[in-house]
């Protein structure tokens, strides 16, 4: 049995058939803010923001009281304070968030070994093998919520379903501090009335494309002939959305995660106009990405450039390489070519990001002809010098006196892989889930 209150919140309140719902999605409620409120209980019930106010600081997390004013994570702090001028802004303490995250994940591991962390504040659990010891999936969800509250003072919301996708949607509907079980037999009934933004892979751009075809709900997408859906969003996304709209998601809970992408981005304290400064920053970001690739023993087949203009328009361009690489010069060349297509004289640039995608493990074998051999040898030598003498011991000449030394705030370095971290204009995630994770993954910028 479930009920829905005056908002979109929906929670399970009584007995329900959870016999075929072994997947749990646990999401901490306004995690960063909630941890801060443990130290500042006097701020409970007030609009609270975690983030930075200097320069172009962004909102890393917003309390539910602040969200009523239209404030959300990743929003520029200046805009957030215009919408909610009485908000209390806290700088944040990532070390504390990590400590609490570790304890929460330990609670999950004590219930089942099948835990797939998605970020610092959410995870999927498969409780198929935990029933004999801990009870049914719904009982396990109640146990987790009680233990998290008792042992940390924090609340979480849990979705219980037959698949990962439906469990994640359910947890977002149960927020804050709720649990929603979606019986396997009720999956379609649950999904079809939801807006298309509830489908993974549907951000604002795709939502507009679907709306032009009259598709506004998940049920509309499910009823759309495959050929017509392909015309709206292309074959690959059409196949994905068609499956999700019909409750089909064959993915399992994986206890180990592989990086899907590695990226860095930076929001500047002032818009950049000088092409030399812009390309210098592009080189710095490309170098940082390449260093992380080599440390992880990975190479990338695709290089993606993200650009945000002074008027907040955001675009991305991707280049697929003939051979995967971990060489900064190659990454820079591809990103630089893409940049040339996106900026003209006098164009103001607010943010630049470089991301390496389609990663695979680097092999020791060399190609018969390797055009990047000299650059690769040079960059690996720099890695060795850096390991011995510290970062900055050797720096590309083009980066001496770089614009990054004069910008306000710290670089916003993207975290490896995972949901929501691919910084495309159309994000891949459940749109209804407006939590701290996306802002954390994109970096602090405080």
Question: Binding site for Mg(2+): residue ranges?
Answer: 27, 121
The DSSP line for 14-76 is: S----TT--EEEEEETTHHHHHHHHH-GGGTTS-EEEE--STT-BEEEE-HHHHTTT--TTSB
Rounded Cα distance, 218 and 206, in Å: 13
Q: Are 187 and 247 in contact (CB under 8 A)?
A: yes
Sorted by sequence, the CB contacts under 8 Å of residue 372 that are 6+ apart come out as 325, 327, 329, 330
The CB density around residue 404, as the number of other CB atoms within 10 Å, is 16
The CB density around residue 103, as the number of other CB atoms within 10 Å, is 12
Is 435 a known active-site residue?
no
What is the number of residues in the chain?
446
Annotated binding site: 27, 121
Q: Are 19 and 127 in contact (CB under 8 A)?
A: no
Q: What angle do CA 264, 269, 274 make, to 5 degrees?
A: 85
Per DSSP, the three-state class of 177 is: coil
| Catalytic residue selected from 65, 116, 122, 265 | 122
What the block records as the tokens of 179 is: 């649990």
Residues with active-site annotation: 122
């Amino acid at each position: 049995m479930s009920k829905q209150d005056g908002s979109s919140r929906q929670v399970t309140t009584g007995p329900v058939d959870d016999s075929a719902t072994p997947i749990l999605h646990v999401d901490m409620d306004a995690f960063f803010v909630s941890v801060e409120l443990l130290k500042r209980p006097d701020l409970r019930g007030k609009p609270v923001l975690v983030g930075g106010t200097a320069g172009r600081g962004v909102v890393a997390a917003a309390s539910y009281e602040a969200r009523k004013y239209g404030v959300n994570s990743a929003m520029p702090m200046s805009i957030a304070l215009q919408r909610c001028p009485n908000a209390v802004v806290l700088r944040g303490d990532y070390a504390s968030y990590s400590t609490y995250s570790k304890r929460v994940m330990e609670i999950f591991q004590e219930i089942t070994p099948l835990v797939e962390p998605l970020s610092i504040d959410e995870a999927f659990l498969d409780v198929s093998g935990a029933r004999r010891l801990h009870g049914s999936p719904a009982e396990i969800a109640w146990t987790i919520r009680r233990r998290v509250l008792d042992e940390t003072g924090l609340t979480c919301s849990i979705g219980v379903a037959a698949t990962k996708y439906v469990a994640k949607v359910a947890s977002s509907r149960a927020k804050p501090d709720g649990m929603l079980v979606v019986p396997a037999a009720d999956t379609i009934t649950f999904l079809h009335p939801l807006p298309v933004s509830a489908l993974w892979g549907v951000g604002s751009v795709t939502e507009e494309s679907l709306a032009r075809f009259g598709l506004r709900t998940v049920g509309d997408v499910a009823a759309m002939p495959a050929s017509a859906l392909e015309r709206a969003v292309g074959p690959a996304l059409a196949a994905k959305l068609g499956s999700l709209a019909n409750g089909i998601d064959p993915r399992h809970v994986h206890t180990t995660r592989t990086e899907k992408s590695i990226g860095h981005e930076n929001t500047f304290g002032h818009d950049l106009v000088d092409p030399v400064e812009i390309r210098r920053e592009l080189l710095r970001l490309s170098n940082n990405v390449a260093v992380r690739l080599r440390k992880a023993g990975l190479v990338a087949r695709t290089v993606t450039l993200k650009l945000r203009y002074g008027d907040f328009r955001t675009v991305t361009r991707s280049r697929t390489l003939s051979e995967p690489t971990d060489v900064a010069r190659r990454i820079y060349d591809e990103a630089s070519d893409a940049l040339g297509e996106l900026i003209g004289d006098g164009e103001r640039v607010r943010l630049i990001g470089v991301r390496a995608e389609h990663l695979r493990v680097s092999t020791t074998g060399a190609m018969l002809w390797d055009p990047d051999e000299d650059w690769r040898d040079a960059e690996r030598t720099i890695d060795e010098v850096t390991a011995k003498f510290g970062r900055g011991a050797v720096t590309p000449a083009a980066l001496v006196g770089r614009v990054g030394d004069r910008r306000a705030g710290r670089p916003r370095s993207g975290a490896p892989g995972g949901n929501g971290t691919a910084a495309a204009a159309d994000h891949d995630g459940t749109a209804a889930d407006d939590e701290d994770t996306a802002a954390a993954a994109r970096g602090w910028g405080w």
